[in-house]
Amino acid sequence: MSVVNACYLNLPGNYLFSEIARRVNVYAADNPSRKLIRLGIGDVTSPLPPSVIRALHKAVDEQADAAGFRGYGPEQGYAFLREAVVADAFAGLGIDADEIFISDGAKSDIGNFQELFAADARIALTDPVYPVYADSNVMAGRAGAPDADGRFTGLIYLPCTADKGFIPELPRERPDIIYLCYPNNPTGGVLTRTELKQWVDYAREQQSVIFFDAAYESFISESDIPHSIYEIEGAREVAVEFRSYSKKAGFTGLRCGFAVVPRALVCRNARGSSGKTALHGLWMRRQTTKFNGCPYIVQRAAEAVHSPEGKRECAALIAAYMRNAGLIRDGFLRKGLTVSGGVNAPYVWVRLPDGTDSWEFFDRLLRETGIVGTPGAGFGPSGRGCFRMTGFGNAADTREAMERLKTFVL
Ligand code: MLT
C-alpha cells in the first residue's frame, strides 16, 4: 500500500472555514426556518462592479472569433494587467511590471510561495493568524503536530494580544521567513510606517524574507498606514507582497490576485554557501511548471478594476463594507467588550468576557441569534477568548445582526 505525506496528518481534520461551514450546515438542517446571518468567512456579498461586468462581456465576446480568441496565456500574466497594476498601485515605488505575477488569488500564492525555501527554513508568524500560513508549512514538514497549547511545533509564534494593542514584537530567535498581514486578518490591526520599518530593518539585519500579505490594503482609511511594504526603504531586498482582487473588487468567486517578487530579492543556495539565487527566477520556474495562468477574461476584468471608473466603483463597495464593520464595532463596544479593527480593515476582532471559550461562544451565538462569526481560536492559540466578525455581509443583514446582538446575554 502506498504511504501518504504524513505531514498532513499533523493538521486538524478540517480547514477552519470548512469546519465552520460544517457546523452551520448542521444547525441550518435542524432549523430550516431560522434566517442565518453569515458574518463568518470574509466572503463578499455585493455584485461585481459594472465596469468589471462590461470587461468580462467584452472579453467573452472576443473568444467567439479567431482574431480575439486566446489559448494559453503567459504564465506570469498578461502585460496589460501587470502594467495596469504597477501604474495604479506601485507608482514611484521602484516596482517593475516584470516583477508582478498574476495568479488565481492571494491564497494560492501565499500557500505556495514557501515551496521556494529550504525544508528546514524557520517560520515566524503572528498569532492569531490567517490559517493558510501555518497549515502550508505544516504540509511542507516545517512544523509538527500542535503541542498541548495548540501551537504547531517548530514554528515561531509572535503573540498579538489585546494588552499589546495586537502588535507583534520582533522575534527572539532568527526566522528565515516572517509572515506579516496588514491590515491584519483577523484582528483588523495595522502597522504604521514607523512600525513596518522596524520589520524591514530587522529582516535586512537578519537576512530574513518577509511574506507581506496586503490583501486588505484598499480598506485603509488612515493616512500614516502604508498600503505596500515597498513604501519602506530597502523592502525590495527582503519582501514579497501578495495582493488580491477578492475583497477590494468582489472577485472571491472570479479569482484573481498577484504576487510582487522584486528582482533585488536574493537568498542563499545553501546554509553557509556564498552562492545566491533570486527568488524572482525561482518563482517564475515554479509558476511555469505548476500554473498555466489566470483566465484571459478574468485578467481583463481585473484590468477594469484599475480604470478610473473601476476605482470609483470599488471605493463605493469598500465604503459600504466599512459602514457594516463600523456597525459591528459599535454593536460590540455597546456590549462593553474590547474591540479592534473595523477602521482600516473589514474585520472586527472582539475580546470575549474572561473565561469564554471562542468555539462555545460561536455555537451559542449561532443557536441563540442565528449569527455566524468566526471563533478566534481557529486563528491560533492567542485567538482563544476572541471572536471575529466581518463587514462583508449586506447592510440590512448586518443591521439585523446588531439588533439581535442587543438582547444576547454575554
Ligand atoms: C477569511 O475569512 O479569513 C478570508 O475570507 C479567507 C480567505 O480570504 O481565504
pLDDT by residue (tens digit) across 252-299? 999 999 999 999 999 999 998 999 999 999 999 999 999 999 999 999
Mean pLDDT for 231-251 is 98
Task: Choose the residue to mutate in 16, 20, 39, 41 for probing ligand 1, maximizing ligand atoms within 8 Å of C-beta.
Answer: 41
Ligand 1 mean position, distance from CA 245 (Å): 12
- Considering only 13-27, 43-57, 124-138, which range has the smallest mean pLDDT? 13-27
Mean pLDDT for 198-221 is 98
Q: How confident is the model at residue 367 (pLDDT cuts 50, 70, 90)?
A: very high
Residues making up the chain, counted from first to last: 410
pLDDT above 90: residue 22: yes
Ligand 1 mean position, distance from CA 182 (Å): 14
Residue with the nearest Cα to atom 5 of ligand 1? Answer: 42
Tell me the C-alpha distance between 231 and 334, whole Å. 37
pLDDT above 90: residue 12: no
Query: Are 73 and 291 contacting, i.e. CB atoms less than 8 angstroms apart?
Result: no
Q: Give me the pLDDT at residue 111, please.
A: 98
* Residues 6 or more apart in contact with residue 208 via CB below 8 angstroms: 124, 174, 175, 176, 177, 178, 202, 238
Cα angle value 381/252/92 (rounded, 5°): 90
Ligand 1 mean position, distance from CA 212 (Å): 16
pLDDT digits (tens, 9 = 90+) for 83-99: 999 999 999 999 999 99
Q: For strand 239-244 and strand 257-260, is the pairing parallel, antiparallel, or unpaired?
A: antiparallel
Q: Give me the pLDDT at residue 362, please.
A: 97
Query: Is 128 a pocket residue for ligand 1 (Cβ < 6 Å)?
Result: no
Query: Are 24 and 38 contacting, i.e. CB atoms less than 8 angstroms apart?
Result: yes
Q: How confident is the model at residue 15 (pLDDT cuts 50, 70, 90)?
A: confident
Which cell is 168 given? 507583534
Mean pLDDT for 23-44 is 96
Mean pLDDT for 348-361 is 96
| Domains in the chain with CATH codes | 6-47+310-406 (3.90.1150.10), 53-306 (3.40.640.10)
* Residues 6 or more apart in contact with residue 151 via CB below 8 angstroms: 127, 157, 380, 381
Task: Choose the residue to mutate in 15, 17, 112 for probing ligand 1, maximizing ligand atoms within 8 Å of C-beta.
Answer: 17
Instruction: Please state the pTM of the whole predicted model.
Output: 0.96
* Residues 6 or more apart in contact with residue 241 via CB below 8 angstroms: 212, 213, 214, 228, 229, 230, 259, 260
pLDDT above 90: residue 162: no
pLDDT above 90: residue 163: no
Q: Give me the pLDDT at residue 166, please.
A: 87
Q: Give me the pLDDT at residue 4, please.
A: 97
